[in-house]
Structure 1
């Protein structure tokens, strides 16, 4: 559907508003994004994605003040935002089940953040529609958009889990809107996470440039598959189809180096206690990019069985001889049902695999020293056909690096990394990035005489002043994690921020911007 057709559809559906309601005004004050994470993956992801969409729509809300007309690409963005916001809104009730077993305070904090995210989503879908229909103008104050959250109804019965008797998410009266100031909230579970992502991008695909229903342009297969959207999750996803010996192969631009990392997100649908014990996603690193088994490969099978503790099956072949063919126990049954993030690190012969923060595989001699790994191959095994069980992948990132930064810091006295990731436009550290900070803490623990200056850098998006402040806030956030989680003394750490003033690559390209968003650690 092109933007003209979609716009006509929206206008037809909502045309009664044109005559029934006056022109609406835009809000001037943003709803605040929560500063800290809850520590429940589905909640943190829901809140983060909700505010990412909110920030996108809020940007276009400023057009109402300036009287700037929407361009074709602006209309496309707003139409996509409406779809994504609707999907996220539908996912909110399902997140409640993930609060079971959490402490009362964590449940209360989660409830507050979910409600704030829902308010942001409500604003986003309403505003996007009004902008597309030309019904939005700006005045100095918008009482509706800036309504004090304390004025919301407080007289409903709320359980300790943060839900009312009718099951709707409600704010806990015993809590206020003030978030705890401890930046380690939500990161503690990752305190032993030692995955270090590569920082030189080789391949990335979130399917945002592919058409829905098409096979993705940057992949190959001997079967079939298509890019889809899901009604409860934002973004675009590549659906692997069930079949015998069907391989899905991303088109890597070159052979893989000695040290590299692979990351991706998965969504599994229809998985339950009747799922086959053999249901798995096979990830194979191989010496060819064809639909055949090579002389050199390393294979990991990620299990989805639910009725029993699962096994990672691992096997390899080095110079046409197999040395490893084994199963490794790892209970990831809950994790694979909740949009798991998979991380794989290859360092010469060594191969490690994490599911979320949990390391499941660590084999020191899985890959041959001189094995020419050319491809990453995915294969779906023993999933029920005809849509009864489905698997989707997105955000595949392959990057060179992932080496031990501790020795580099000790030997050279300085490292720079863009592997520490933050939420868009904020200083909230993404927990999957904690492996790098953990390595920094180990250097400081080993030599108590070392002091470090932490320096943040941004790309050129936004104003100079905003980027300078953001870079300083991000450096301070890293310092706070070192202090609060790893118990490093504050007097051994200083921080600074350079904003966009010291780029290392071209800010006009996506890859260049990614390189410029970085954190430096310098001995002082």
Structure 2
């Protein structure tokens, strides 16, 4: 507020000065005086809005990142943080194992607003079909769970031990074999880009979709979306489908400006509910087409292709690829069965910080509590077996408490309707010796009391 007062002290004298200049210029100066006054008003409004936003972000930060106590930013190595930025070109270039790139990691992007989180309506499937963070693959190898007609490799970035799959450009197809896709399922993955700048082509995009061909073509039936990486103009997201002999398929560009998002390690979420196809970039839904998935063809394969990237300069990596059956509505299950379990509430590795894409599920739990006024819930956290038993028990309790805090602070649920418990690694539902099994074991339960 001191800065606002300073702005007023500077601007108001200008107005009085204009009032006492010679008559010949009075009309001109009167206009200038009004402009100065309006400029001061706008400056005051911007300052007040900025201070209000900062306070709101601090509240949300304390919910989604327990223990942060309103800290603005924390340094984090890539890929947990944002890719590093080349000061000359403005391109984002994480250091890759075996690469001569000298760039280092930078600070993660700041927190987003409560409004954005509370409206995020993506709900991941609750029955895991496939998960790959490439932890069991060797650096330099092609991922063992995937197939391709070209090449790609698993890499690590900067000093992080996390592994990423580098997708190479061209007409190479990368796909996940041996996954039976049901009528309703979700696909999620994280993206990290490198070398993207103002010269990146408008035809640089990641093509991701589903098809009836179980090898390298898109086949007779498919639907896919192109995620653009051009920076000099908002290209939009192209959505296309094909129905053999059907004609008149979808081939359209959805207005979308995701230029900043693709530079900041975005999370991509796709939901397929029979013929309906929806796509989110981070917490914003850009595509929602009710008749996009061809009903006639047996959709069998999830495919990725990378186009328009300059080989060796612009690079793309993905990780945490997850396919899960369901993703439509947990509310009915909770009301009818009195219990629901989900591994769709995600946390930062080894912490109780809730990731933004989890808020769709928490929102549904809130809607149940709104409808069922007398319902009380126990929130139970579970972990996989990595780490010490005691640490996992504490972590599971903290994660359950973080979910409770989100329901109370974001949605206004009374705290006396919620209790928490941590089970640690004591009640596994999957094999802790596999990546898929660990992902199943990292879950949160809601139990009617």
Structural mapping, 1:145-224, within 5 Å:
189-224=116-151
Label 1:277 to 1:257 Cα distance change in 2 as closer, same or farther (>3 A).
Answer: same
Q: Distance in 1 between matches of 2:168 and 2:411?
A: 44
The more displaced of 393-402 and 331-340 is: 393-402
Label 1:424 to 1:274 Cα distance change in 2 as closer, same or farther (>3 A).
Answer: closer
Label 1:271 to 1:477 Cα distance change in 2 as closer, same or farther (>3 A).
Answer: same
Q: Distance in 2 between matches of 1:44 and 1:356?
A: 21
Match of 2:372 in 1: 447
Secondary structure of 1:472's match?
A: helix
- Give, in angstroms, the shift of residue 383 of structure 1: 2.1
Match of 1:372 in 2: 298
Match of 1:229 in 2: 156
Q: Which has the higher contact order (CA 8 A, sep 6+)?
A: 2
Structural mapping, 1:46-57, within 5 Å:
46=77, 49=80
Match of 2:41 in 1: none
Secondary structure of 1:215's match?
A: coil
- Give, in angstroms, the shift of residue 39 of structure 1: 9.2
| Structure 1 gaps, min length 5 | 1-32, 51-82, 100-105, 107-184
Q: Contact conserved, 1:238 with 1:393, CA < 8 A, in 2?
A: yes
Match of 1:393 in 2: 318
Q: Contact conserved, 1:287 with 1:295, CA < 8 A, in 2?
A: yes
Match of 2:283 in 1: 357
- Give, in angstroms, the shift of residue 333 of structure 1: 0.5
Q: Distance in 2 between matches of 1:413 and 1:319?
A: 44
Secondary structure of 1:223's match?
A: coil
Q: Contact conserved, 1:188 with 1:485, CA < 8 A, in 2?
A: no
Q: Distance in 2 between matches of 1:230 and 1:35?
A: 27
Match of residue 431, structure 1, among 348, 353, 356: 356
State the TM-score, normalizing by the size of structure 2.
0.72
Aligned length: 369
Match of 1:130 in 2: none
State the TM-score, normalizing by the size of structure 1.
0.63
- Give, in angstroms, the shift of residue 227 of structure 1: 2.9
Q: Distance in 2 between matches of 1:459 and 1:187?
A: 30
Match of residue 95, structure 1, among 107, 131, 136: 107
Label 1:518 to 1:285 Cα distance change in 2 as closer, same or farther (>3 A).
Answer: same
Q: Contact conserved, 1:36 with 1:428, CA < 8 A, in 2?
A: no
Q: Distance in 2 between matches of 1:37 and 1:308?
A: 38
Match of 2:217 in 1: 292
Deviations 1:344-364 (A, max 9, x none): 111221111111112111112
Match of 2:262 in 1: 336
Secondary structure of 1:343's match?
A: strand
Match of 1:266 in 2: 191
Label 1:90 to 1:417 Cα distance change in 2 as closer, same or farther (>3 A).
Answer: same
1:479 is the counterpart of 2:407: no
- Give, in angstroms, the shift of residue 45 of structure 1: 5.6
Label 1:393 to 1:464 Cα distance change in 2 as closer, same or farther (>3 A).
Answer: closer
Considering only CA atoms, is the larger Rg found in Structure 1 or Structure 2?
A: 2
Secondary structure of 1:441's match?
A: helix
- Give, in angstroms, the shift of residue 435 of structure 1: 1.6
Label 1:282 to 1:316 Cα distance change in 2 as closer, same or farther (>3 A).
Answer: same
Moved over 6 A (4+): 37-40, 185-188
Q: Contact conserved, 1:36 with 1:186, CA < 8 A, in 2?
A: no
- Give, in angstroms, the shift of residue 497 of structure 1: 3.0
Q: Distance in 2 between matches of 1:452 and 1:188?
A: 25
- Give, in angstroms, the shift of residue 213 of structure 1: 3.3
Q: Distance in 1 between matches of 2:68 and 2:153?
A: 36
Q: Distance in 2 between matches of 1:323 and 1:478?
A: 43
Match of residue 240, structure 2, among 315, 323, 331: 315
| Structure 2 gaps, min length 5 | 1-64, 82-95
Deviations 1:66-107 (A, max 9, x none): xxxxxxxxxxxxxxxxx98x99x9634x338x56xxxxxx8x
Q: Contact conserved, 2:266 with 2:281, CA < 8 A, in 1?
A: yes
- Give, in angstroms, the shift of residue 186 of structure 1: 7.9
Q: Distance in 2 between matches of 1:378 and 1:348?
A: 21
- Give, in angstroms, the shift of residue 438 of structure 1: 1.1
Deviations 1:277-335 (A, max 9, x none): 22211112000122223121111111112112231110112344243221111111001
Q: Distance in 2 between matches of 1:498 and 1:389?
A: 44
Match of 1:254 in 2: 179
